[in-house]
Amino acid sequence: MFSIRHRLLGLASGIIAGLGFMSAAAAAEPVKVGILHSLTGTMAISEITLKDTILMLVDEQNKKGGVLGRSLEAVVVDPKSDWPTFATSAEKLLGEDKAAVVFGCWTSVSRKHVLPVFEKHNGLLFYPVQYEGQEQSPNVVYTGATPNQQAIPAVEYLMSADGGSVKRFYLAGTDYVYPRTTNDILVNFLKSKGVAESDIIVNYTPFGHQDWAKIVTEIKDFASKGKKAAVVSTINGDANIGFYNELAKQEITAAQTPVVAFSVGEGELAGLDVTPLVGHLTAWNYFMSSDTPENTAFISRWQAFMKDDLRVVNDPMEAHVMGFQLWVKGVEKAGTTDVAKVREAMKGLTVRSLSGYDVVYDGETQHLHKPVVIGEILPSGQMQTVWKSSGLVEPKPWSPYLPKK
């Protein structure tokens, strides 16, 4: 009896110890961080850098001990600038890899394709690019700009004396949801400011479009009607290369007809002949030329990580930096990577931007309060700030210039 009893106690102790070992092993398993950015195709020019940004942030966080005593493991997929492939890639990250969080997408059409997947799996996507608004999902944290944090201030600047007192507006965009919705907002905004319908043209081209001669000729004719004209560009990806080259070919200068772009930044300009773009404008929430200790330190770490002293930083990268900080803070506050608990823990948190702001996360709309900056493109490919907001601008994802659904 004594022997049997001791054997049973020993067996029970072994089971308990084994369960404890398995529990500890499970706790020590790495936290999967999904990276959902195009590495090939028309959007690779913009998205590869965002993939590298998250890899760097994961590496830095692991050197700090990871999160909750667990290391982070980056899981990279290539949706190839193909919208259905974004959905299947998201399914892999959430269903197969069990990613606790995903950082990804650039275009709104890619975000729209993955949204049902994130909602099905209750995943968490950090989306780092300016967009059209008119959306709010509990499974997305929108760290890019809403139209009132980029598009509206840019057009207001063009209409001001400092921006050239522009009276006519040519809205050129890539044919998908972000340009179409943003331009609907801008058309209604311009009309509310007294701009005549005859002084507004809206034109869309497909992704990767390169035959710009006819469209630029139309812009040139539009700008020759006696009133100051400007182009508002929501052209995305590598189509911008041909567009600006054709502007230069037809001798349309920034002084004559300025272009303000919402999807051209330091990343797109890197390695290009910037000559055709000099003097034209961009509107974002951050420029690499920002003179702050936070920015200087980040650029140094980034270029060291990439082993490239010429590697640039841009606005969507900064959005990923803030989004990553926000997720880490939320996980540590919640004590878990559970999406619902992290989402709740993030409410009201602030993160430090590269521009030196304590940026507030609005947990109700799931957007960031952000500054707005408008810059002039320099021969170096950097931006010289010509206007900036007086502080952080509250996000308004539901535009008053569109009818309520």
Q: What confidence score (pLDDT) does residue 214 get?
A: 97
Do 148-288+373-388 and 30-146+291-368 have the same topology in CATH? yes
Q: Write the CB contacts of 203 (distance below 8 Å, at least 6 apart in sequence).
A: 170, 171, 172, 173, 215, 218
User: Which pLDDT does position 1 carry in this prediction?
Assistant: 46
Residue spans per domain, the chain: 30-146+291-368, 148-288+373-388
For β-strands 358-362 and 350-352, DSSP reports them as antiparallel
Phi-psi region of 41 (alpha: psi -120 to 50; beta: other; left: phi over 0): left
Whether this model's pTM surpasses 0.75: yes
Mean pLDDT, rounded, of the chain: 93
| Res. 14 pLDDT band, cuts 50 70 90 | low
* pLDDT attached to residue 16: 47
With cut-offs at 50, 70 and 90, classify the pLDDT of residue 232: very high
- pLDDT, tens digit, for every residue of 321-375? 999 999 999 999 999 999 999 999 999 999 999 999 999 999 999 999 999 999 9
pLDDT level of residue 19 (50, 70, 90 thresholds): very low
pLDDT at 403: 84
Taking only the tens place, the pLDDT of each residue in 289-298 is 999 999 999 9
Sign of CA dihedral 134, 139, 141, 144: negative
Among the listed ranges 1-15, 34-48, 170-184, 233-247, which one has the minimum average pLDDT value? 1-15
236-261 core/surface letters (b: 16 or more CB in 10 A; e: else): bbbbbbbbbbbbeeeebebeebbbbb
Q: Determine the pLDDT at residue 22.
A: 39
Residue 12 CB partners (closer than 8 Å, separation 6+) = none
C-alpha to C-alpha distance for 277 and 379, rounded to whole angstroms = 8
- 């650039």: which residue's tokens? 106
Nearest to 231 by CA among 172, 181, 287: 172
State the sign of the Cα–Cα–Cα–Cα dihedral 207, 208, 214, 217.
positive
- Candidate CATH numbers 3.40.50.2300, 3.40.50.1370, 3.40.50.2020, 2.60.120.510; the one for domain 148-288+373-388: 3.40.50.2300
What the block records as the tokens of 371 is 């500054």
Please give the pLDDT value at position 10.
53
Q: 81: helix, coil or strand?
A: coil
Determine contact, residues 216/24, Cβ cutoff 8 Å: no
Of the pLDDT bands very low, low, confident and very high (cuts 50, 70, 90), residue 27 is low
Q: Which residues contact 346 (CB under 8 A, 6 or more apart)?
A: 141, 326, 327, 329, 330, 333, 361, 363
Q: Say yes or no to pLDDT of 21 above 60.
A: no
Kindly tell me the burial class for residue 399, based on how many C-beta atoms sit within 10 Å of its own C-beta (0-12, 13-18, 19 or more).
buried
Per-residue model confidence as pLDDT tens digits over 90-109: 999 999 999 999 999 999 99
Homologous superfamily of the 30-146+291-368 domain (CATH): Response regulator (3.40.50.2300)
